[in-house]
Amino acid sequence: MIKVVKFGGSSLASATQFAKVGNIIRADESRKYVVPSAPGKRNSKDTKVTDMLYQCYALAEEDKDFHIQLKKIKERYDSIINGLALKLSLEEEFKVIETNFKNKAGKDYAASRGEYLNGIVMANYLGYEFIDSAEVIFFDENGNFMPEKTDEVLSARLQKTERAVIPGFYGATEEGKVVTFSRGGSDITGSIVAKAVRADLYENWTDVSGFLVADPRIIDDPKTIKVITYRELRELSYMGATVLHEDAIFPVRKEGIPINIRNTNAPEDEGTLIVESTCRQPEYTITGVAGKKGFVAINVDKDMMNSEIGFCRKVLQAFEEHGISIEHMPSGIDTMTVFVHQEEFEGKEQQVLSSIHKLADPDTIDLESDLALIAVVGRGMRSTRGTAGRIFSALAHSNVNVKMIDQGSSELNIIIGVKNSDFEKAVKAIYDIFVETQI
Ligand code: ASP
């Protein structure tokens, strides 16, 4: 059994957190490959080492003095090293970093040092081998990740290594220029490593006990999702439920390797298991509910629209021409509605409307702003009758006016449009009907 374990920044923010991580790793023989993030926040007012590095490098780039900032970063590591009583000095490493900063080695190089140094500390603490990700994770000249080359080199390297620490977040081009993933990208590294060693499980340790059925800012103490499929996760993450980097599912998904989200501060909790498919029915009919505010609905009407070939295409072309992406598109016989992000749309509103007029010649166009979209997601909906009915009666009881309904043919989700001001009330009503009352 091989497990790849990734630890997020808050799990590695201090010596105390490192000690918890050490206990977790030592508690299970199969936790052989470790992917650390950079030290994160120790409390809500603290700054992540990654952000400290970006700030420090911004000074270097302007040829300003940055040694105080760099010293503060070194202090973060020294307090971990001393707290764990390790015989390790990062003096030489910091000299190299200082020189490279002066030579303007790049923003990505700067940010990557957070994970790089934490990897060195972690390897020393665990007695595992340290592997610099710049040697095993590859990007092309344009900064795109190279999956095949990486898999080839990384799996060959890890085959020879019983236990290793591979820092998250970065890799390098074939010429050795360091490139990072987007923020939160250590999750992706963990997934790449899991694929390379054909792991049985990818454990992603963070500071929450998994995905929650609903947003805790709206629902008090919501239930945790025990098992979720990749597709359900995509739907919920897209609607704002973020625990894992979106791109982290792709490398493991193809290999059928499950991801287990776990909590470093509550290791006894089972967390959430993310799988390709499962015969385990969710505890409730719905797996989760998530949503976002800030949409505009553009209603386009034209008599006999349904028989006019190409009408929808022309309307959509107007959005495409102005670079606006479309969220949802419910339609009727003589009407179609396009949902877009309000922020994206506002600045280009009049241009888009005039393009629609020019291209599609509709009878009327009207706009409704300040709308929210809510996704009710669940593989269990397929086999349960009356889910939609229950949602809408719950919303009606809560006095929420439903503006739009869209159910995908996969029956995996139902999207509901409501007014921004009804958003929280609607999420609560849906959560209550499926989770609290459980009828
Ligand atoms: N340290 C990086 C960040 O703060 C990457 C990560 O933690 O995954 O975004």
Distance CA 5, CA 260 (A): 9
Q: Which fold has domain 288-436?
A: VC0802-like (3.30.2130)
- 3-class DSSP assignment, residue 126: helix
Helix (H) or strand (E) holding 6: strand 3-7
Distance, CA 419 to ligand 1 centroid (Å)? Answer: 35
Domain boundaries, the chain: 3-207, 288-436
Ligand 1 atom closest to the CA of 187, numbered from 1: 8
User: What is the pTM (predicted TM-score) of this model?
Assistant: 0.86
Q: With a 6 A CB cut-off, is 191 part of the ligand 1 pocket? A: no
**pLDDT tens digits for range 132-172:** 999 999 999 999 999 999 999 999 999 999 999 999 999 99
| 362 Cβ below 6 A of ligand 1 | no
Lowest mean pLDDT: which of 52-66, 192-206, 268-282, 422-436?
268-282
Which atom of ligand 1 is found nearest the CA of 183?
9
How many angstroms does the Cα of residue 114 sit away from the middle of ligand 1? 9
Element (DSSP H or E) covering residue 405: strand 404-407
What is each CA distance from 20 to 6, 11, 14, 59, 210, in whole angstroms? 14, 8, 10, 35, 18
Exposed/middle/buried for 230, CB within 10 Å: 0-12, 13-18, 19+?
middle
169 lines ligand 1 (CB under 6 A): yes
3-state secondary structure of 69: helix
From ligand 1's centre to the CA of 421, what distance in Å?
Answer: 34
Instruction: Determine whether the shortest distance from the Cβ of 53 to ligand 1 is under 6 A.
Output: no
- Cβ atoms of 366 and 347 within 8 Å: the answer is no
**3.40.1160.10, 3.20.20.60, 3.30.310.50, 3.40.50.12280: CATH of 3-207:** 3.40.1160.10
> What's the start-to-end Cα distance of the chain, in Å?
40
Cα–ligand 1 centroid distance for 118 (angstroms): 12
Q: How many whole angstroms from 199 Cα to the centroid of ligand 1?
A: 23
Q: Is the CB of 188 under 6 A from ligand 1?
A: no
Q: Is the dihedral of CA 101, 105, 106, 110 positive or negative?
A: negative
Location of structure tokens 């390897």:
123
Of 192, 178, 189, whose CA–CA distance to 135 is shortest? 178
Q: Which of 276, 252, 138, 250 is nearest to 196 (CA)?
A: 252
269-317, pLDDT tens digit by residue? 999 999 988 887 778 889 999 999 999 999 999 998 888 899 999 999 9
Q: What is the pLDDT of residues 384-417, one digit of tens each?
A: 888 888 999 999 999 999 998 888 767 788 999 9
DSSP-derived letter for residue 279 is S
Residue 8 CA: nearest ligand 1 atom is 7
Sign, CA dihedral 233-235-236-241, equals positive
Q: Tell me which long-range contacts 342-348 makes (C-beta under 8 A, separation of at least 24).
A: 342/294, 342/295, 342/296, 342/369, 342/370, 343/294, 345/296, 346/296, 348/322, 348/323, 348/324
Phi, psi of 73 (to 5 degrees): -65, -45
Q: Which atom of ligand 1 is nearest to the CA of 180?
A: 5
Atom of ligand 1 nearest to the CA of 189: 8
Query: Cβ(330) to ligand 1 under 6 A?
Result: no
Q: Is the shortest distance between the CB of 38 and ligand 1 below 6 Å? A: yes
Is residue 439 over pLDDT 60? no
Ligand 1 in reach of 184 Cβ (< 6 A) = yes
Q: Which of 199, 146, 288 is nearest to 6 (CA)?
A: 199
Centre of ligand 1 from the C-alpha of residue 8, in Å: 8
Instruction: Please report, for the chain, how many H helices and E strands are present, in that order.
Output: 14, 16
- Alpha helices (runs of H) in 84-164, residue ranges in sequence order: 91-102, 107-126, 147-159
pLDDT digits 0-9 by tens, 232-275: 998 888 887 778 998 999 999 989 999 999 999 999 999 999 99
DSSP string, 318-351: HHHHTT--EEE--B-SSEEEEEEEHHHHHTTHHH
- Tell me what pLDDT residue 107 has: 97
CA nearest neighbour of 418 among 386, 396, 390: 396
| Token reading at 220 | 């008090």
Any ligand 1 atom below 6 A from CB of 190? no
Q: From ligand 1's centre to the CA of 371, what distance in Å?
A: 32
